[in-house]
Copies of this chain bind each other. A is one copy, B any other.
């Protein structure tokens, strides 16, 4: 492929595939949709797709591959789902058993890959509207039950941002325009009202007390389906490692509703 004609998303995937980019995907290939991955044997694919349909705010499915195919034809036709994430988490019996930088050796003909919209994708739209996106942001468990399907179940995982009141209003308007990418907030204000667990964010230290003049705003998070897959205790499934999302060729603006 002629490098000068490559999309930035293609260039970054090639760097990851070659092992030259090994960190998180945050900030990479700005403006392109990033996806969370769930890779499951076909026998569980109906229940998982149904779980996503029933919990669409948290689990916006952007593409599902045919069984055995490592190529997301719609979102990244030159991509390879076995090599193009910088880091994969391999689960056995519901437990994260090992991380890998390449899952080619684990690939099977019955694996179906779900590409699920990541909140990272709308950072650009928020930033353009003057809403800070890289700080004061946490991923939290809540006590909002999701609707189960087959073995998949669990409470909703949310992204919480600390915003000023006017930023909260702007952020609500901006994200409402992305109905296929988590959409508008699911809650605003008191974290206790949805049972958000401030003591144990999924990543990093506990959340400090909310400063005066700050409004916590909560969005459904694409980690929810991964959590549901953990809860299902499947013998085998693979996910992207947190914050190591798959970069697609889809411009983030393509998901924006007018």
A71 within 8 A of partner (CB): no
Task: Assess A176 versus B53: contact at CB under 8 Å? Given A45-B46, A46-B46.
Answer: no
A180 within 8 A of partner (CB): yes
* Complex Cα gap A176–B256 (Å): 11
Q: Give which listed residue, B46, B50, B61, B257, contacts A176 with CB less than 8 A.
A: B257
Interface residues in A192-227 by Cβ distance below 8 A to B read: none
* Complex Cα gap A223–B257 (Å): 24
Stoichiometry, as copies per complex, reads: 2
* Complex Cα gap A258–B63 (Å): 25
A64 within 8 A of partner (CB): yes
* Chain A residues within 8 Å of chain B by Cβ, number: 23
A179 within 8 A of partner (CB): yes
User: Which residues of B are found within 8 Å of A46, using beta-carbon distances?
Assistant: 42, 45-46, 49
User: Which residues of B are found within 8 Å of A74, using beta-carbon distances?
Assistant: 54, 147
A247 within 8 A of partner (CB): no
Which of A42, A50, A173, A183 has the most chain B CB atoms closer than 10 A to its own CB?
Answer: A50
A residues touching B (Cβ–Cβ < 8 Å)? 42, 45-46, 49-50, 53-54, 61, 63-64, 66, 74, 147, 149, 173, 176-177, 179-180, 183-184, 257-258
Given contact pairs A177-B257, A183-B257, a sample of 10 additional A-B residue pairs in the complex whose CB atoms are under 8 Å apart: A45-B46, A46-B49, A49-B49, A49-B53, A50-B64, A54-B64, A74-B147, A173-B258, A179-B257, A257-B257
